[in-house]
Amino acid sequence: MSNICYLCNSVAKIKIICFFDYVNILIEVYFLFLANYFINHKNNKIMTKADIIYQIVEETGLYAKDVRMMVEYFMKTVKNNMVKGRNVYLRGFGSFILKKRAEKKARVISRNETIIIPEHYIPSFKPAKSFMDKVKNNVNK
């Protein structure tokens, strides 16, 4: 059984995607992304990692692949250093710090027993004073 490309009418003996089908799929995915972007972000006050990458690409003219790699690497570096017990300080932006949580008792109601949660660390972000002031003075309510 052969597959026929509906754009260029080429015939493939095995199940492969014709180049034109591939481009068509990419275009459809791009338009779905744009539609989803405008529906979800028109009035919402959210920004995703993809939005950050898109904005950097638009403002700098760099390739999206390179920007995505740098954003991913930045996040990976912050995570890896925090896992190793190091705080990350970015002057003018904020600090990714570890907060120590003390040991405490908790109850499992379904089993009617008390458990002890050991002391542990959680990641936290503390914005810089200049960053906090800028947000306080410029965000529309």
CATH of the domain at 130: 4.10.520.10
Q: Are residues 91 and 141 in the same domain?
A: yes
Q: Are residues 72 and 108 in the same domain?
A: no
Name the band, by pLDDT with cuts 50, 70 and 90, for residue 1.
very low
Mean pLDDT of the chain: 79
DSSP 25-91: HHHHHHHHHHHHHHHHHSS-----HHHHHHHHHHHH---HHHHHHHHHHHHHHHHHHHHTT--EEET
Q: Are residues 26 and 60 in the same domain?
A: no
| Total structural domains within the chain | 3
Domain ranges, residue 111: 87-141
Q: Are residues 93 and 124 in the same domain?
A: yes
3 state DSSP class of 20: helix
Q: Are residues 25 and 54 in the same domain?
A: no
Cα(43)–Cα(75) distance, rounded to whole angstroms?
27
Name the band, by pLDDT with cuts 50, 70 and 90, for residue 115.
very high
Q: Are residues 64 and 100 in the same domain?
A: no
According to DSSP, residue 119 is labeled P
CB proximity list for 71: less than 8 A, separation 6 or greater: 49, 52, 53, 56
